[in-house]
Amino acid sequence: MRRGRKPSRDAKRKNIIVRFQEGEYNAIREYAKNMDTPFSTFVRDVVLGYLDSKNVPTSIAIDDPNQLTIDTGE
């Protein structure tokens, strides 16, 4: 008899693959290094900053379990 799937420890985390040309990657890596920020943290902050500047909601708040609403942070 098989057991059920083992629950993931970090089920809320999702990964994204981003591809850069070598020169682009090196420039971004050096810039992040100069700012004393890990590369992945720097890329995440840049993406979230861009979305924020375009007023794109990045979180969903559930007021009523039967209805989803998007929290725009205003």
**Does residue 37 lie in a domain region?**
yes
**Does residue 13 lie in a domain region?**
no
**Does residue 50 lie in a domain region?**
yes
Kindly state the helix (H) or strand (E) to which residue 46 belongs, with its residue range.
helix 39-53
**Does residue 33 lie in a domain region?**
yes
At residue 64, the 3 state secondary structure works out as: strand
Q: Does the reported pTM lie above 0.75?
A: no
Q: 42 Cβ partners below 8 Å, 6+ apart?
A: 28, 31, 32, 35
Taking only the tens of pLDDT, the chain with its 74 residues reads: 677 777 666 666 778 899 999 999 999 999 999 999 999 999 999 999 999 999 888 776 666 656 555 666 66
Residue 36 sits in which domain range?
22-71
pLDDT of residue 8: 66
Ramachandran angles phi, psi of 2, nearest 5°: -90, 145
**Does residue 12 lie in a domain region?**
no
- What is the count of structural domains for the chain? 1
